[in-house]
Amino acid sequence: MSDIEAVEFQCGNCGAVNHLPFAKILDLQESPSCGSCSTPLLRHLEQKYEHLDAKTYIHPLDDEAMAALKRIPGVTTMLRSLIRHSFELATRLHHQANFVRVGPKQLPDLWNSFVHAGECLGISLADLPELYVYQDPVPNAYTFGVENNFVALSTGCLNLLDEEEILFVLAHELGHVHADHVLYKSAARVFGSVASTVIQATMGLGSLVVYPIQIALLRWDRASELSCDRAALLVVKNPTVALRTLMKLSGGTEKLANELDIDAFIEQADQFGDMQDEGPLGRYLTVLQTLFRTHPYPIWRAKELLEWVGSGNFLEVLDGDYTKDNEGKVTCEACGSPIREDAIICPQCGASQPGSGADADGEGEDGGDPSDPIGKTLKDIQGWYKRNFTNDDPPS
């Protein structure tokens, strides 16, 4: 069992401080009652979230890595011009032609779980991405797109996980949609191809610039998974379901699923946390080792979730104390959609936002040609390289 024995939680009704056994929180079935006034402590446990803002569950590593990513010029142009008009169409055609598209008539139970997860996070049926199931024994799921987001789930997931655990996976992927991650995650998936083009265009010198950018993208991409584990937990509302899912993804099989022990898995996650703290490089190595994986290590994800639950923040959300998405919202000048005030790109139309470092028409102060997104991206990257890595002109 976890090193955390109890979580302090203040009653929103009478103000009394309660010490809730951590084991009870991990397998949350109903709201515990206040020891002083006997009212339910988690007053919104059975209610839907109202205007839930992604800031409620964004992981600090996600926040930090996103801030670094936003400082890189050229990302806006690459996302809007390259992915939307090439990679997205090609990928959607591939999914439409090879995978089973889920809907009210096709795998209806799975579709209903998908709709439920979307409703919990505040994603309307009209804004729900397409959902596909593809044939692959390896349990996995991913989200992709710019203007037309879609989620894909492997048959390996469906075979390995039970209904609650599948809901956790679906909610995790929809967390990326809710948090406006999809544009950037799409960039992380295709940047390798873009990087090759840039390197060839600069006779190999561009690798000095491209690789730091690729690392920044991948670093954020992995951190974003920690945020969406939190989003998924807010949907299933039971930490044991989340931990059980991660345990099965670590080493579960259909044959041995009944022999897996959640307490032993939690103990392993605590031991992993101790290993991270053994030296100054522990946490750095954890991030570095996961850069080229599709997801962070499941044990690391479990440890981060345990810490979030143990901090009391998870319980606060279930009590109705969370950031609303109508706080700190602005309007996209291009399409009029409400967006977060720190957004550099509108998730609805892909337009750059004022102060993002890129012009909405694809032309910066250098007068770049909007019809040549790769050339514009390369020029922006060269300027970034000059400002950050040299005192001279960047390689050309």
Q: Which tens digits make up the pLDDT trace of 36-67?
A: 999 999 999 998 899 999 999 999 989 988 88
| pLDDT tier at 248, thresholds 50, 70, 90 | very high
User: What is the count of structural domains for the chain?
Assistant: 1
Q: What is the average pLDDT across 169-185?
A: 91
Question: Which structural domain, as residue segments, surrounds residue 341?
Answer: 44-389
Q: Is there a domain that residue 21 lies in?
A: no
| pLDDT tier at 368, thresholds 50, 70, 90 | very low
Q: Is there a domain that residue 69 lies in?
A: yes
Q: Is there a domain that residue 213 lies in?
A: yes
CB atoms inside a 10 Å sphere around CB 94 = 12
Please indicate whether residue 319 or residue 208 has the higher confidence score (pLDDT).
Answer: 319
Q: Is there a domain that residue 394 lies in?
A: no
Instruction: Report pLDDT digits (tens) over 285-337.
Output: 665 555 556 667 888 899 999 999 999 999 999 999 998 876 556 777 777 77
Q: Is there a domain that residue 16 lies in?
A: no
Catalytic entry in 130, 173, 225, 304: 173
Q: Is there a domain that residue 200 lies in?
A: yes
> Are 150 and 129 contacting, i.e. CB atoms less than 8 angstroms apart?
yes
Q: Is the pLDDT of residue 131 over 90?
A: yes
Predicted pLDDT at 194: 56
Predicted pLDDT at 71: 74
> What pTM was estimated for this model as a whole?
0.80
Q: Is there a domain that residue 58 lies in?
A: yes
Question: H/E element holding 76?
Answer: helix 75-77
**How far apart are alpha carbons 276 and 307 in whole angstroms?**
14
Asked if 254 is an active-site residue, the reply is no
Q: Is the pLDDT of residue 374 over 80?
A: no
**How far apart are alpha carbons 277 and 177 in whole angstroms?**
33
DSSP 221: H
Please indicate whether residue 377 or residue 221 has the higher confidence score (pLDDT).
Answer: 221
Q: Is there a domain that residue 77 lies in?
A: yes
